[in-house]
A = this chain, B = another copy of it.
Amino acid sequence: MCRWLAYSGSPILLEELLYRPEHSLIDQSRHSRLGAETTNGDGFGVGWYGTDGGSPALFRGIGPAWGDENLRELAGAVASPLFLAHIRASTGTAVQQSNCHPFRYGNWLWLHNGLIRGFAAMKRELTLAVDPGLYPHIGGSTDSEVMFHLALTFGLVEQPVCAVERMVSFVEETAREHGVQRPLQMTLGVADGTRLWAFRYSSEGNSRSLYVSTDAAALRALYPENERLQRIADGTRIVVSEPLGELVGAWQPIPESSYGLVEPGNAMLGDFKP
């Protein structure tokens, strides 16, 4: 049911996180340990912001990430201070580029692990609630993209956390009317070019795994002899569906029903209460 990661910090080559770690995202595409499925082979995507701001670029493919030569090339050539990457395990919708995460709207990127249970039955009603001006921008057929457009409708650009809460509430209300139990399972990565949010929530209070890397200064103090860690800039944070390696103390679980925000000079955790 998908794995993802998000990075915020000093610019690094994408391959530093996508390929090089022991349990990199690409490794997870074949051998996920904590996911609902071990295989995440139904497409992938990466969205990255340039060092000079501006709209993010996307690279999305419909084959498995592990075998995509273009992704490997790109990851070795492109450096970014803020990027999100996703590997997909479809929960039923088609394997096509327009269903690959991240989704983009202006400067915003959105990716999702999880699902809306009973989505086929609720899709019409959920989609109708999307702002008519945003409606033509929906290009694929996934629950994840509808969630994004609902959040945009509910004010994502102005008040991100509040808008995501409203989106979740709306999905859960709609599900209740349809008699769907435990409708929502989600971890979300959202970015606007400067800030990065990570949400962890599920209707049943038993959400998919989500971790954030420990503060860089603390990590350096913990492992004074690890050269790689010594190079990490202050303020760097990595959010991951599952840890990229076994380094004790490097990864903190994001608690149930909460969200994290990373921005230059600041990182915080908050309650997520739809």
Question: Which A residues form the contact surface with B (CB < 8 A)?
Answer: 30, 38-39, 41-42, 48, 50, 57-64, 66-67, 69-70, 73-74, 76-78, 90, 94-98, 120-121, 123-124, 128, 132, 135-136, 139-141
Contact = CB atoms under 8 A, between A and B. Distances in A.
Given A57-B73, A94-B97, 10 more contacts: A41-B64, A42-B67, A58-B73, A60-B69, A61-B70, A67-B90, A67-B95, A123-B135, A123-B136, A124-B135
A60 to B, nearest CB: 7
Given A38-B38, A39-B39, A74-B74, A63 B95 contact: yes
A151 to B, nearest CB: 18
- Chief secondary structure at chain A's binding surface: mixed
Contacts of A132: 124
Contact of A73 (B38, B59, B62, B95): B59
A69 B60 CA distance: 9
Contacts of A63: 62-64, 95
Contacts of A139: 94, 141
A131 to B, nearest CB: 10
A48 B39 CA distance: 29
Contacts of A67: 41-42, 90, 95
Contact of A30 (B39, B58, B59): B39
Contacts of A140: 141
Contacts of A58: 69-70, 73
Contact of A136 (B62, B90, B121): B121
A256 to B, nearest CB: 30
A74 B78 CA distance: 10
A98 B139 CA distance: 12
